[in-house]
Structure 1
Amino acid sequence: MPPKPTAIPKPTTEGEQFDIPRKNTLSYQPTHLGHNSPLPYIPTSSAKTHDPSGTLKLAFIMVGLPARGKTYVARKITRYLTWLGYPARIFNVGNYRRDTVGAAQPHDFFDPNNQENAQKRMQVAMTALDDMIRWFERSEDEDELSDQGSSIKEDEREDQDPEYDFEAKVAIYDATNSTKMRRRILMDWCAARNIKCVFIEMVCEDSEMVTHNVKEVKISSPDYVGVDPELAVNDFMLRIKHYEKSYETVTEDENNGKISYIKLINTGAQVIVNKVQGYLQSRVVYFLMNLNITPMDLYFCRHGESVYNTIGRIGGDSDLSWRGYMFSQKLPELMEKQIGAKKLTIWTSTLKRTIQTASNFKHPTVQWKILDELDSGLCEGLTYEEIEERYPEDYQERDNDKFNFRYRGGESYRDLVQRLEPVIMELERHHEPDHAILIIGHQAVIRAIYSYFLNYSHDELPYVKIPLHTVIKLTPKAYGCLEERFPVDVPAVDTHRNKGQSAASVTKAARDSAGDLTKLALE
């Protein structure tokens, strides 16, 4: 067993990227390597070959020339798995390299014929691999980063559906990994520690798309801070030429024909899958098959204010209040201004308040049962005050862990996330830039979808503020998501409940707000 590691540094992006070496020196040799050669020591059968805890250790290893979208896809996978509840981390070798030898390196630093620099890059890559293995080997109690990737705890898994009741940790090793030798090293290294490897190769045969990627993303990277954009583009294109000298595409005969890989060609125009087995691996394959980089605008809003909203009751299937109907009349005008000549499709739930909110649109409307509000079970139609009175223990337990709390006979936010996965797949596969989508949904539903795109943690998700009578526009970008909010000039009650807020104050606030708004309208 390797020595117990010291504290692991925090990721640069919470819950997403783990990329800073523990040592800022080229003389540092990872403790697992065992000698000073630029090539690693391959462990023998005496090394640990199983995980006593039963945790699935899965590594997705990126492959591809620069500017092919590796980091973009790595971030997408991490965000998707984290949203579903699996601890996931990116180990970005490029960031290790910047921290170790500096960001401002000329293109010939990446020339494979330069043995000195090749050894430096190999050491950096092995440092990242060493950190990845250390992260896998830390127990949940030891892993000070575990809560950032998943809020699942051991005693909560008994209530989960069967397909989600196994432990799993997923790492994404983000580098070019452009030769068969490098990939064999990674496979042998991981196999000795019972880490399953799946390679994801990004292939782009469209030179215009590569140039676009370089201009859009690479010249704004830390490697080219303060560099003239034209010079940065030329330098990066020369860097690509160096990698092309030694690049070897992934083939099915590697590792004696036992290599698992996914090959994405031209941003998913063609997908090749070889020997990929396992539940979680298959879900990632399906996710990648639906992925595209087409620019798109997504719009979300809650239904108009409902009768239940005005009296502080949750769930149910009530009609809109008179202010809710006013909102439904003004919403089409706002959307027409937003979309211009674009096509628009509206998605609603099957509950009356969303259908009524969409009733004044002339655009196509689709009703989705899976967009129905979180099921409150026995608490449907009750106020928070009534819930606290009838089920005091439940009320307190929900405050303690709102994401995992499941209503009696109903759902939890965790259940809701699993239910909404097909919606996320449909949004990710949407590839018509002149076709906008508006989801008219419910507070919990919009929170869950919004948190996926904005990468909110499970602790944050149930408390995201999604006010009534406000349209949210999200524009996904390569490494983030732009957000705009457009309030509609129709007042509504505030249904947001802060953590720890008393039940009586929530119900009173809703009723007082409804009364004040009614008086204001009559004056």
Structure 2
Amino acid sequence: MLQGSEMPGPAGVPQRKMTYFVPKSDNSNEQVRVPNVIALVGLPARGKTYISHKLCRYLNWIGIKTKAFNVGEYRRKACNLEEEGEFEFFSPNNARGQKIRDECARLAIEDMGKYLDNKEGEVAILDATNTTRERRKLLMEFCKNMMHEPPFRVFFVESVCDDPMIINSNITEVKINSPDYKGIMSQEQAKEDFLKRIENYRVQYEPLDEEFDEELSYIKVINAGKSFYVHNVNGHVQSRVVYFLMNIHLLPRSIYLSRHGESEYNRIGRLGGDSPLSENGLKYAGKLREYFENEDLEDFRIWSSQKIRAAQTASHLKDLAGHTEFWKCLDEIDAGICEGLTYEDFESRYPKQFAERDKDKYHYRYPSGESYEDLVARLEPVIMELERQSNVLVISHQAVLRCILAYFTNQNRDDLPYLKVPLHTVIKLTPKAYSCEVEMFKFDIEAVNTYREKPQ
């Protein structure tokens, strides 16, 4: 049964004709290839947008096409908080504010539905507070109506936090970087307004409940991952989401990436191999030690490839770290029958293979070797551990570090194999609520350029 109506909306909010469908029996749990909706739940400053961004990045990185729909962005397009009165706009007693927020939620949910119905992706993330049962019911009814075949499978992710230190850290991050406040008011004004906004949400907050929400699928992430409650997980995607969230890190830290120092094979342009460091590579290892002495990091760890050139580089810093570990999965991409060849040798001996690699470098697999796609699968445990750890230096190789850098900076597959990771350079990554800050520190030590431009 189909019902349609013109939804009245406040001035400034784009109007659409909303069509409602009578829900039918849900057989999505019995099917395998089902579109998934991941819906965030929780008060402001609980890391929801941070989780949304990281989850979206992770799923795309492992090959599950995903897009996030942030209701706050719809609201910012619809109205100006300076005109609406900042925190008062979020009061449950503000009828106009409530009307705008409800309409913006509907618009986001409708766009999310089109994205999945049009097969543009497999997973949609609804980044919103979803703090009331009424709002969650509206979402469930939309996802399980007759318009979608099969119905969308819904999984709620509730971020619960009562740790003052974590909440304060999140508020500090939001008040500096949130589009609601950046360039509009001072940090102290932003903090005061944001705390009042949280209280407005707290008045109407109805957490997910084991008894009331027995039919729903959800995970509660408690105090930034100190504990979890998982309920009624269905399907591969939801299982991967749970796996990822149980490794997520919500607190400030930095990740450092560095290639080994220049190797003898680098100097003569050969692929792969297991050659030692050149004289310039040894100088870099010494300078790398000086750099981390000045960083003076707490709980500092080093992870290194098992290749000689990486292990030599790591050995110069060993006493600075609490732990130094050598991972086989951090070894360079396996070039198979092309190991030890120069690019000129590769092109002359295997011209067809060389052309295939230029055509699609991400999916190209060296004969008897690996592709970048294989490398991403191999590196997933490293990504999971990086999400769990504090300050880590990863000493590895060009292709490996491209994959890790692509994960943290949300690069697509076409660009991943061409990211610039030069020798004798430290890349410092600092995950933020809305992005990942990337800083590159180039050391003044000569090294060959191993970068090969993307063919036009």
Normalised by the length of structure 1, the TM-score is 0.78
Q: Does 1:28 align with 2:15?
A: yes
Alpha-carbon distance in structure 2 between the residues aligned to 1:24 and 1:458: 41
Count of matched residue positions in the alignment of Structure 1 and Structure 2: 438
Q: Does 1:238 align with 2:193?
A: no
| 1:90-141: CA deviation from partner (whole Å, max 9, x where unpaired) | 11111111112334332232222334432332111111100000000113xx
Aligned partner of residue 217 in structure 1, secondary structure = helix
Residue in structure 2 matched with residue 493 of structure 1 by the alignment: 448
Give 1:343 shift.
4.9
Alpha-carbon spacing, 1:294–1:223, altered in 2? closer, same or farther (3 Å)? closer
Q: Does 1:124 align with 2:123?
A: no
Q: Does 1:367 align with 2:367?
A: no
Give 1:27 shift.
6.5
Q: Does 1:77 align with 2:55?
A: yes
In structure 1, which of residues 239, 242, 249 is the aligned counterpart of residue 207 of structure 2?
A: 249
Residue in structure 1 matched with residue 345 of structure 2 by the alignment: 386
Question: What are the equivalent positions in structure 2 for 1:36-55 lying under 5 Å apart?
Answer: 41-45=20-24, 55=33
Residue in structure 2 matched with residue 109 of structure 1 by the alignment: 89
In structure 2, which of residues 132, 140, 143 is the aligned counterpart of residue 187 of structure 1?
A: 140
Is the Cα–Cα contact under 8 Å of residues 253 and 259 in structure 1 kept in the other structure?
no
Alpha-carbon spacing, 1:204–1:428, altered in 2? closer, same or farther (3 Å)? same
Residue in structure 1 matched with residue 439 of structure 2 by the alignment: 484
Give 1:399 shift.
0.8
For structure 1, which runs of at least 5 residues remain unmatched after alignment? 3-22, 35-40, 144-167, 502-523
Give 1:215 shift.
3.5
Is the Cα–Cα contact under 8 Å of residues 252 and 259 in structure 1 kept in the other structure?
no
Residue in structure 1 matched with residue 335 of structure 2 by the alignment: 376
Give the share of equivalent positions with the same residue, in percent: 48
Aligned partner of residue 180 in structure 2, secondary structure = helix
Alpha-carbon spacing, 1:45–1:342, altered in 2? closer, same or farther (3 Å)? closer
Alpha-carbon distance in structure 2 between the residues aligned to 1:274 and 1:172: 19
Give 1:196 shift.
0.7
Residue in structure 2 matched with residue 467 of structure 1 by the alignment: 422
Alpha-carbon distance in structure 1 between the residues aligned to 2:193 and 2:427: 40
In structure 2, which of residues 18, 37, 40 is the aligned counterpart of residue 62 of structure 1?
A: 40
Q: Which amino acid aligns with 1:244?
A: R
Aligned partner of residue 313 in structure 1, secondary structure = coil
Normalised by the length of structure 2, the TM-score is 0.89
Alpha-carbon spacing, 1:365–1:69, altered in 2? closer, same or farther (3 Å)? closer
Is the Cα–Cα contact under 8 Å of residues 14 and 78 in structure 2 kept in the other structure?
no
Alpha-carbon distance in structure 1 between the residues aligned to 2:289 and 2:191: 44
Residue in structure 2 matched with residue 443 of structure 1 by the alignment: 398
Alpha-carbon distance in structure 1 between the residues aligned to 2:449 and 2:386: 28
Aligned partner of residue 454 in structure 2, secondary structure = coil
| 1:298-325: CA deviation from partner (whole Å, max 9, x where unpaired) | 2221112222212211011122223223
Is the Cα–Cα contact under 8 Å of residues 346 and 439 in structure 1 kept in the other structure?
yes
Q: Does 1:418 align with 2:377?
A: yes
| 1:376-433: CA deviation from partner (whole Å, max 9, x where unpaired) | 11111111112112221221111111111111111111110111111111111014xx
Is the Cα–Cα contact under 8 Å of residues 49 and 433 in structure 2 kept in the other structure?
no
Aligned partner of residue 56 in structure 1, secondary structure = coil
Alpha-carbon distance in structure 1 between the residues aligned to 2:339 and 2:360: 20
Alpha-carbon distance in structure 2 between the residues aligned to 1:323 and 1:237: 53
In structure 2, which of residues 233, 241, 247 is the aligned counterpart of residue 290 of structure 1?
A: 247
Aligned partner of residue 358 in structure 1, secondary structure = helix
Question: What are the equivalent positions in structure 2 for 1:257-406 lying under 5 Å apart?
Answer: 257-338=214-295, 340=296, 342-363=298-319, 364-406=323-365
Alpha-carbon spacing, 1:313–1:265, altered in 2? closer, same or farther (3 Å)? same
Q: Which amino acid aligns with 1:238?
A: K
Alpha-carbon spacing, 1:27–1:129, altered in 2? closer, same or farther (3 Å)? same
Alpha-carbon spacing, 1:415–1:293, altered in 2? closer, same or farther (3 Å)? same
Alpha-carbon distance in structure 1 between the residues aligned to 2:427 and 2:190: 36
Alpha-carbon distance in structure 1 between the residues aligned to 2:164 and 2:256: 33
Alpha-carbon spacing, 1:487–1:417, altered in 2? closer, same or farther (3 Å)? same
Is the Cα–Cα contact under 8 Å of residues 24 and 144 in structure 2 kept in the other structure?
no
Residue in structure 1 matched with residue 5 of structure 2 by the alignment: none
Is the Cα–Cα contact under 8 Å of residues 49 and 191 in structure 1 kept in the other structure?
no
Give 1:205 shift.
1.2
For structure 2, which runs of at least 5 residues remain unmatched after alignment? 3-9
Alpha-carbon distance in structure 2 between the residues aligned to 1:415 and 1:427: 19
Let me know the Cα RMSD of the aligned residues: 2.6
Residue in structure 2 matched with residue 514 of structure 1 by the alignment: none
Alpha-carbon distance in structure 2 between the residues aligned to 1:341 and 1:92: 35
Q: Which amino acid aligns with 1:407?
A: Y
Which moves more between the two structures, 323-332 or 190-199?
Answer: 323-332
Give 1:49 shift.
7.7
Is the Cα–Cα contact under 8 Å of residues 74 and 90 in structure 1 kept in the other structure?
yes
Residue in structure 2 matched with residue 88 of structure 1 by the alignment: 66
Is the Cα–Cα contact under 8 Å of residues 40 and 129 in structure 2 kept in the other structure?
yes
Q: Which amino acid aligns with 1:183?
A: R
